[in-house]
């Protein structure tokens, strides 16, 4: 249930509603945005009687929220969430943000070379894993904290912001210190303890869709993060398991309008992990932008044939340059 306060409601009236929610054994969560304060009721197991609140001073409406996810839902918050990042970059409705870089950080030279190239083509955020969740324990696992230090240097030298993945609680603590956006990967989308910990950090979280996850399961994963107090969640569609061997995954672009309908959270698309091969990446990227994605996460490598992970799906810098040019013509007027 969402309790909407009158726009002239006093702090005392708001506190009165919060107190009543807590006295009933539920949790109260003020929802930011808009002219008036709204307070979400969480942790109720059954329906809450609106009459309990409607006659309280300052209360104008009590709206039942029918979805299992509450804080994530558009029923709770009508306005789109904008993620304000450093350097004036805003991610969210109407703005388009390009995040690009290698799958994994391999060396300082590799990271800086690619960062300078993607920056020159208009990327605002540099991606690159220091901790890699690999299907095989024998595959390259990433540089760990050394990789984070390299990412820090990339930020200082190029001014690009950094998105990088945390794979468990220990790496989350380190990643949260260095990253501008913390990525939770597809394989961890249902790691509920990690999601809860991600809800306690003060950095935006990019939550990838699990490769078998329904939209509801994905939004419930976002709810885990938000329920711990972190409202800065960015959803990232990266494809789900599919039949056929022509692509690594099936890029589900229907999630873009579906997320817009169900949630106020921004949604970006990763065509690289969906495609698995570089020739498929540009058309999927253009389709994602045309379908209304708030941004793209793209793997780019200056020497993809030597890449330690995901070389086959990494764009050459020149291909990335062409793609960015094409995207600019698709999104006139909303380019940073």
Interaction of residue 75 with Mn ion, rule CB under 5 A: no
What are the φ/ψ torsions at residue 121 (nearest 5 degrees)? -95, 5
Q: Where are the beta strands (DSSP E) in 134-210?
A: 161-165, 181-184, 205-208
CB 185 within 8 A of CB 169: no
Q: How far is the CB of 88 from Mn ion (least distance, A)?
A: 28
Cβ burial of 331 (10 Å; 0-12, 13-18, 19+) is middle
Binding partner of 208, given ligand PEP, Mn ion, none, CB within 5-8 angstroms per partner class: ligand PEP
Smaller CB separation from ligand PEP, 37 or 130: 130
Give the one residue of 119, 238, 248, 264 binding ligand PEP; rule: CB under 6 A.
238
Give the one residue of 70, 197, 208, 278 binding ligand PEP; rule: CB under 6 A.
208
CB 116 within 8 A of CB 110: no
Q: How far is the CB of 252 from ligand PEP (least distance, A)?
A: 13
Scanning 17-25, 254-262, 290-298, 308-316 for contacts with Mn ion by CB under 5 A, the matching segment is 308-316
Q: Which residues pair with 207 in a beta bridge?
A: 184, 235
CB 97 within 8 A of CB 266: no
Scanning 70-78, 138-146, 181-189, 215-223 for contacts with ligand PEP by CB under 6 A, the matching segment is 181-189
What DSSP line would sit under 6-45, residue for residue?
PTT--HHHHHHHHHHHHHTT-EEEEE--SSS-EEEEES-S
Q: Write out the binding residues for ligand PEP, residues 4-33 only, by CB under 6 A.
A: none
DSSP state of 57: T
Q: How far is the CB of 53 from ligand PEP (least distance, A)?
A: 42
Interaction of residue 165 with Mn ion, rule CB under 5 A: no
Name the helix (H) or strand (E) containing 2. strand 2-5
Interaction of residue 315 with Mn ion, rule CB under 5 A: no
Q: Write out the binding residues for Mn ion, residues 99-128 only, by CB under 5 A.
A: 103
Interaction of residue 181 with ligand PEP, rule CB under 6 A: no
Using the structure block, give the residue that is written with the tokens 């939550």: 207
> Interface with ligand PEP by CB under 6 A: which residues?
103, 129, 133, 185-187, 208, 238, 270, 273
Contacts to Mn ion by CB under 5 A: 103, 310
């Amino acid at each position: 249930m969402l309790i909407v306060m009158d726009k002239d409601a006093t702090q005392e009236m708001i506190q009165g509603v919060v107190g009543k929610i807590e006295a009933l054994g539920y949790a109260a969560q003020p929802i930011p945005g808009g002219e008036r304060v709204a307070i979400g009721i969480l942790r109720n197991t059954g329906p809450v009687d609106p009459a309990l609140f409607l006659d309280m001073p300052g209360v104008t409406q009590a709206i039942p929220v029918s979805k299992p996810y509450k804080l994530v839902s558009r029923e709770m918050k009508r306005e789109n969430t904008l993620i304000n990042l450093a350097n004036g970059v805003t991610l969210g409705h109407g703005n388009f943000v390009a995040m690009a870089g290698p799958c994994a950080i391999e060396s300082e030279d590799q990271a800086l070379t690619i960062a300078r190239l993607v920056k020159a083509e208009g990327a605002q955020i540099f991606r690159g894993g220091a901790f890699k969740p690999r299907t095989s324990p024998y595959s390259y696992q990433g540089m760990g904290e050394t990789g984070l230090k390299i990412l820090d240097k990339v930020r200082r030298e190029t001014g690009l912001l950094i998105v990088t993945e945390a794979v468990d609680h220990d790496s989350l603590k380190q990643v949260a210190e260095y990253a501008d956006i913390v990525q939770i990967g597809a394989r961890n989308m249902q790691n509920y303890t990690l999601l809860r910990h991600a809800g306690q950090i003060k950095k935006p979280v990019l939550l990838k869709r699990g490769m078998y996850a329904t939209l509801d399961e994905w939004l419930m994963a976002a709810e885990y993060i938000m329920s711990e107090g972190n409202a800065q969640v960015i959803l990232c569609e990266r494809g789900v398991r599919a039949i056929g061997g022509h692509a690594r995954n099936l890029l589900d672009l229907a999630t873009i309008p579906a997320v817009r309908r169900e949630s106020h959270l921004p949604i970006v698309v990763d065509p690289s992990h969906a495609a698995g091969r570089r020739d498929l990446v540009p058309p999927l990227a253009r389709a994602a932008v045309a379908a209304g994605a708030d941004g793209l996460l793209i793997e780019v490598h200056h020497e993809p044939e030597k890449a330690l992970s995901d070389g086959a799906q990494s764009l050459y810098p020149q291909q990335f340059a062409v793609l960015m040019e094409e995207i600019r013509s698709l999104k006139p007027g909303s380019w940073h």
